Chains A and B, each alone.
Chain A
C-alpha cells in the first residue's frame, strides 16, 4: 500500500514553491500518494494570471536575482512543471482552499491553473493529514 503525504502549501513565493516541487519529485520517485492543500498565499500563485509571471521570493530577498539566475543556470523546471511531472508519475491531488481562493478573487476552479483538481474546505485537509504518513507545511 502506497505511503501518503499531505502538504499544506501556504507559500506563494517561487523559492518555496520550487522547494515543494523538489519534495514532490522525491515523493513521486517513491510512488507516494500526495494530497496538496493550497492555502492563502499559494492560492495567489495558482491563479492563472499569476502562475508564470510571479517571481516573488520569501527568503534571502536581497539575493533574489542570484537565486533566479541560478534556477535558470541549473535548468530547474518551473515549479508548475515540477508539480505537473509529479502528477504524471504518481497519485497527486491538488485542492484549492475555498477561503484562499476567495481572498484572491478565485471563486471557480477555472480561475486556477489546470494542476488544481478541486476547491475544498479545510476539513478535507484535516482528514487527509490524520491519515498521512508525512505531513508538511510549506
Chain B
C-alpha cells in the first residue's frame, strides 16, 4: 500500500498471529515480533500489541528491511496496535 491504513481499516483485519508484548520494554517487543514472524504464513497478517513507544517506529523500520509490509498502527487504551503483512 502507498499509505498506512486508517484505524478503522486496521480494525477490520483478521490477524493470523497476535503478539502481545505489552509487558516488555525495548528490545523485547521487537524480538518477540522477530521470533513470531515464522508462524505467519506468506501474505498473512501479524498484529502486535505494545506499550513501548519505541516499538511503533522500530517495527516498521525492521519490517521494511526484512521485506515485510507495514500496514499501520493506532494507539488505544494506553497501548499501540501495529499491523504487518508478511
Which residues of A are at the interface with B, using a C-beta cutoff of 8 A?
A: 22, 25-26, 28-30, 74-77, 85, 89
Contact = CB atoms under 8 A, between A and B. Distances in A.
Chain A: interface secondary structure?
Answer: helix
A22 B27 contact: yes
Contacts of A76: 25
Interface in B14-48: 23-28, 30-31, 33-35
A22 B33 CA distance: 15
Interface residues of B, number: 14
B54 to A, nearest CB: 10
A30 B65 contact: yes
Given A89-B34, A89-B35, A29 B25 contact: no
B31 A75 contact: no
Contacts of A22: 26-27
A85 B30 CA distance: 13
Contacts of A75: 23-25
A26 B24 contact: no
Given A29-B62, A85-B31, 5 more contacts: A25-B27, A25-B28, A29-B31, A29-B58, A74-B25
A78 B28 CA distance: 13
The 4 closest A-B pairs by CB, nearest first: A25-B27, A74-B25, A29-B30, A29-B34
Contacts of A26: 27, 30
B24 A25 contact: no
Nearest to A23: B27
Contacts of B62: 29-30
Contacts of B58: 29
